[in-house]
Chains A and B, each alone.
Chain A
Amino acid sequence: MRETQGRVLDVAALARVEGEGAMRVRIDGDTVVGVELDIYEPPRFFEAFLRGRGYEEPPDITARICGICPVAYQMSSSLAIEQICGVTVDGQLAALRRLLYCGEWIESHALHIYLLHAPDFLGYDGGIAMARDHRDIVERGLRLKQVGNRLMELVGGRAVHPVNVRVGGFYRLPDLDALRAMVPDLQWACGAALDTVSWVAGFDIPDHHGEWDLVALAGDGEYPIMGRRIVTSSSPDVVPIEEFGSHAVEEHVAHSHALHASWDSRTYLVGPLARYSLNHHLLPPVAREAAAAAGLGRECRNPFASIVVRAVELLTACTEALRIVREYQPPAGPAVPVVPRAGVGHGASEAPRGLLYHRYELDEQGTILAATIVPPTSQNQRAIERDLWQVAQAGVALDDAALTARCEQSIRNYDPCISCATHDLDLRIVRA
């Protein structure tokens, strides 16, 4: 295929990134002169769709945005609405929310580690080819995923688009016996997650240093999943989530349909590397020890090592889930009452891919006047693009096939969620 004067390599779609998207690398001689990434269409439709809806609807509606992280959308939206209504969900209800969220982390991280990312390091085209040679390992990944799915079903009502979540808590409490029956599976999962850390730590991981700021929720005595404060690598200041919008700015760039975000005018990254580096001290001891044994320092800025960090977070989620199930005492009711009132509320939680921010404005009847949703991949797009520029420049001597593979792996390092894009991911290298 020809384009202008340059050579264009048309490669297969990036099937192991969720959804579809587009990426183009332009090379002039030995110099990368352009990297254009157009992978994410922000959920503007849903923001518009929410206007005029009732205050209790965002968890159900926004859960539909992503098939992989519906719980993240439910939690960020619920937290924002609850803030407006002056409601705090705490105690065992908050623990159940964390348990549900752990299920989503387990499901998402196991999928990415085993079926999407590991094949890159082991020289396979994908998880299917890897499964033919490493059947037991892939089965372990699928079983971990299944444990996450079952937690989501038990607490959330259904593994995909959990229907049991509402503003204020849940419609029904989970069946106590069924929850306790999860203990042996969660014990197995903790062991399997520990084995996962050892397994990925043995991969040949390229050395690379990402140049971006890190942004994550601050943990409040535990590794962050839901919270109201944000920490960054660039400043000792703790930012309340109410001020998210004055730090994170989204703007249009010429080559992309997506908005590119910056934090205080600087490129930044959310997700496992940011969470880990900013909250290392809050990892459960078993996860901290596993990270050290895997050779991770207190901070990790190597995107290729994100697979190891994800494995440490997988272990964290399994450990937390087991703890919550063991300590669980049914609360008095499945939800706290929520009475609507006018106001503005902010909610944030750590989706598997990073910080997911929601903001809502309600009138006195609880009708939504405005909604803003800022997902992690939309925030990371600029950091991914910058990183790809470096990776492409470092590999400029490679032939097109090898360089394409390296770029694809680099995109997968970030586990971007691009399911909202409506075009195939078309990765091209253009040499002038």
Chain B
Amino acid sequence: MRAMVVGVGNRARRDDGVGPQVADRVRETMPELDVVEVSGDATRLLDLWAGADVVVVIDAVRTGAPTGTCHRWRMRAGVWDEVPPPTRVSSHLVGVHDAVELAVALDRLPASLVVVGVEVDDLGAGPGLSRAVADAVDEAAALVVEAVAPG
């Protein structure tokens, strides 16, 4: 089984950098894992996850929940387990949700896909996360590790 973790976001846009920062934390915990970073256009996910069985994508989201809330959405065989993530899940050009829908349309989904979303607040210019978002990094990383852990 090949697992892959993708942190989506721009580290120079405050809380939008939470995806890459959670990915950093996961890399520290599981150095053998394939962990990559995507900023901007999420259609790159389709190329990146080609050949992977289990993929976890971490992204900044705004659903209306309190800042720092961690969400987990799982898709298996093209169907979301629970309520799917909102359409405008992120601030990116072609967002993660769009990329997933595109993968469904083109039959290019991994067998198991998990989206870990962290509720964000500040998407202004500059590095660094809001306090509440920074505090959520460990919890989000734990969700990622749980999703890729064998068994």
Residue B79 lies at the interface, judged by CB distance under 8 Å to chain A = no
Nearest CB of A to B31, in Å: 19
In whole angstroms, what is the CA distance A322 to B107 when docked? 31
Nearest CB of B to A210, in Å: 24
Pick the interface stretch among A131-139, A169-177, A196-204, A352-360: A131-139
Residue B30 lies at the interface, judged by CB distance under 8 Å to chain A = no
Chain A residues positioned under 8 Å from B88 (CB to CB): 13, 15, 424
Interchain CB contact under 8 A, B41 and A49: no
Interchain CB contact under 8 A, B124 and A45: yes
Nearest CB of B to A99, in Å: 20
- Among B46, B95, B125, the most chain A Cβ lie within 10 Å of the Cβ of B125
Over the window 1-24 of chain B, the binary record of Cβ atoms lying under 8 Å from chain A Cβ atoms (1 yes, 0 no) is: 000000000111000000000000
Residue B126 lies at the interface, judged by CB distance under 8 Å to chain A = yes
A19-B93, A422-B124 as given contacts; A161 in contact with B39, CB under 8 Å: yes
A65-B12, A67-B92, A149-B47 as given contacts; A128 in contact with B105, CB under 8 Å: yes
Q: CB < 8 Å: which of A45, A111, A132 contacts B126? A: A45
Residue B43 lies at the interface, judged by CB distance under 8 Å to chain A = yes
Residue A395 lies at the interface, judged by CB distance under 8 Å to chain B = no
Q: CB < 8 Å: which of A115, A132, A142, A422 contacts B123? A: A422
Residue in A closest to B10 when the chains form the complex, CB atoms: A67
Main SS of chain B's interface residues?
loop
In whole angstroms, what is the CA distance A45 to B40 when docked? 19
Nearest CB of B to A76, in Å: 17
Chain A residues positioned under 8 Å from B46 (CB to CB): 142
Q: CB < 8 Å: which of A41, A128, A419 contacts B40? A: A419
Interchain CB contact under 8 A, B102 and A160: no
Residue in B closest to A138 when the chains form the complex, CB atoms: B106
Chain A residues positioned under 8 Å from B101 (CB to CB): 128
Interchain CB contact under 8 A, A67 and B126: no
Residue A244 lies at the interface, judged by CB distance under 8 Å to chain B = no
Chain B residues positioned under 8 Å from A46 (CB to CB): 12, 125
Chain B residues positioned under 8 Å from A161 (CB to CB): 39
In whole angstroms, what is the CA distance A20 to B123 when docked? 11
Residue B134 lies at the interface, judged by CB distance under 8 Å to chain A = no
In whole angstroms, what is the CA distance A66 to B124 when docked? 13
Chain A residues positioned under 8 Å from B98 (CB to CB): 15, 126-128
Chain A residues positioned under 8 Å from B106 (CB to CB): 131, 135, 138-139, 142
Residue B130 lies at the interface, judged by CB distance under 8 Å to chain A = no
Residue A146 lies at the interface, judged by CB distance under 8 Å to chain B = yes
Chain A residues positioned under 8 Å from B11 (CB to CB): 64
Over the window 25-62 of chain B, the binary record of Cβ atoms lying under 8 Å from chain A Cβ atoms (1 yes, 0 no) is: 00000000000011111011011000000000000000
Chain B residues positioned under 8 Å from A19 (CB to CB): 91, 93
Residue B94 lies at the interface, judged by CB distance under 8 Å to chain A = yes
Over the window 78-119 of chain B, the binary record of Cβ atoms lying under 8 Å from chain A Cβ atoms (1 yes, 0 no) is: 000000000010011111001001100110000000000000
Over the window 57-73 of chain A, the binary record of Cβ atoms lying under 8 Å from chain B Cβ atoms (1 yes, 0 no) is: 00000001111100000
Chain B residues positioned under 8 Å from A160 (CB to CB): 37-40, 44
Residue A388 lies at the interface, judged by CB distance under 8 Å to chain B = no
- Among B12, B94, B95, the most chain A Cβ lie within 10 Å of the Cβ of B12
Interchain CB contact under 8 A, B12 and A128: no
Interchain CB contact under 8 A, B125 and A45: yes
Nearest CB of A to B119, in Å: 16
Interchain CB contact under 8 A, B44 and A64: no
In whole angstroms, what is the CA distance A127 to B103 when docked? 11
Interchain CB contact under 8 A, A67 and B105: no
Residue A34 lies at the interface, judged by CB distance under 8 Å to chain B = no
In whole angstroms, what is the CA distance A161 to B105 when docked? 28
In whole angstroms, what is the CA distance A419 to B44 when docked? 17
Nearest CB of B to A394, in Å: 29
In whole angstroms, what is the CA distance A160 to B124 when docked? 20
Nearest CB of A to B105, in Å: 4
Residue A296 lies at the interface, judged by CB distance under 8 Å to chain B = no
Interchain CB contact under 8 A, A68 and B125: no
Residue A159 lies at the interface, judged by CB distance under 8 Å to chain B = yes
Can you give 20 A-B contacts (C-beta < 8 A)? A18-B93, A43-B125, A44-B125, A65-B12, A111-B41, A111-B93, A111-B94, A115-B43, A115-B102, A126-B98, A128-B98, A131-B106, A132-B105, A135-B105, A145-B43, A146-B47, A160-B37, A160-B40, A419-B10, A419-B93
Q: A131-B102, A142-B46 are in contact. List 19 more A-B contacts (CB 8 A).
A: A13-B88, A15-B88, A19-B91, A41-B125, A44-B125, A64-B10, A65-B12, A67-B93, A68-B41, A107-B41, A111-B93, A115-B94, A126-B98, A128-B102, A135-B106, A142-B47, A161-B39, A419-B10, A420-B125
Binding site for A on B (CB under 8 A): 10-12, 37-41, 43-44, 46-47, 88, 91-95, 98, 101-102, 105-106, 123-126
A-B residue pairs, 7 tightest by C-beta: A67-B40, A45-B125, A64-B12, A131-B105, A18-B93, A67-B39, A128-B101
